[in-house]
Amino acid sequence: DIDMYTYYHCDRIMNAKDLNHCYYFAFHLLFEWAHIIPEFRALAQSDQMVLSRQNCSTVGWLHFVYRSVLLDQERIGVPLGNGSYIPYDAGELATMDPQYQSTYGKLAKKLVDMVGIPIREMDLDWEEYSLLKAIAMFQFDNELSLEGQRAVLDFRHHLNSALIAHIEKRFPHMSPAERCMRCFHLTALIPALMQIGHLESQFAQQQPFQIATLTSVTESDAPSAPILYDLPSVNAAEDPTTPSPTNPQQNEKPEDHSRQHPIVIVDARS
């Protein structure tokens, strides 16, 4: 089988088993990636579970869609990480299992139109993507403990500051209003992803078939290959150089420990 951790090409239309792999992969990826972030590890376990449960879909779909953009495949469909994909083209959608045409087919169209194409048009770079992914993970929720709520709001403030600083350095020719507008358009991708996640939940409740869940993944279905992680230590608020998608370790600088919350851009990549 193709290693699902490293293969994001759109080679074949998805089936039910591919969804099992996708859900398992997305949750496993989220769990491993989040625990690289010191601010996440510092949270109580109950708060970690709240953030993971509430934001798994948002972070997961952002991960898959951004991979499709890197491979110039965002108008082909949404890759699931193992060579399969949810098609965007209406003709290809018609060849899918009917139970998925009006559910995941609809999700794919929204993901491409509302997330993939805007990412392409804005020319989202790796640092912006990584910061956006972290912001999506640290969403405020009243189910968090009081200490967790304060920690999440505090860290989100630093992530937003890092995003603004990176935009200022990447686009020095822009006016303050233009930079503010870019920041707004970038962060607006998060509620779009959340809306898509809610739609996915509705499908799970309304459809007569059971959408694949983590509990349906058997031991033989679960991926066994190791995950390779990228841990660029570049601080987005301090370094204008964007790590290359093929070599994110280039142009590294020593971490600045003078801040209360150093912004470390992290992502699990393949």
Closest of 89, 120, 121, 117 to residue 105, by C-alpha: 89
For the chain, which ranges sit under pLDDT 70? 1-6, 204-270
Domains recognised in the chain with CATH numbers:
7-216 (1.10.565.10)
Q: What is the pTM of this model?
A: 0.75
Do residues 56 and 199 lie in contact, with contact meaning Cβ atoms separated by under 8 Å?
A: no
CA atoms of 86 and 77, how far apart (whole Å): 5
Q: What is the pLDDT of residues 189-200, one digit of tens each?
A: 999 999 998 888
**What pLDDT was estimated at residue 205?**
67
Considering all CA atoms of the chain, what is the largest pairwise distance in Å, rounded to the nearest integer?
56
Closest of 49, 205, 45 to residue 141, by C-alpha: 49
Do residues 233 and 267 lie in contact, with contact meaning Cβ atoms separated by under 8 Å?
A: no
CA atoms of 140 and 147, how far apart (whole Å): 12
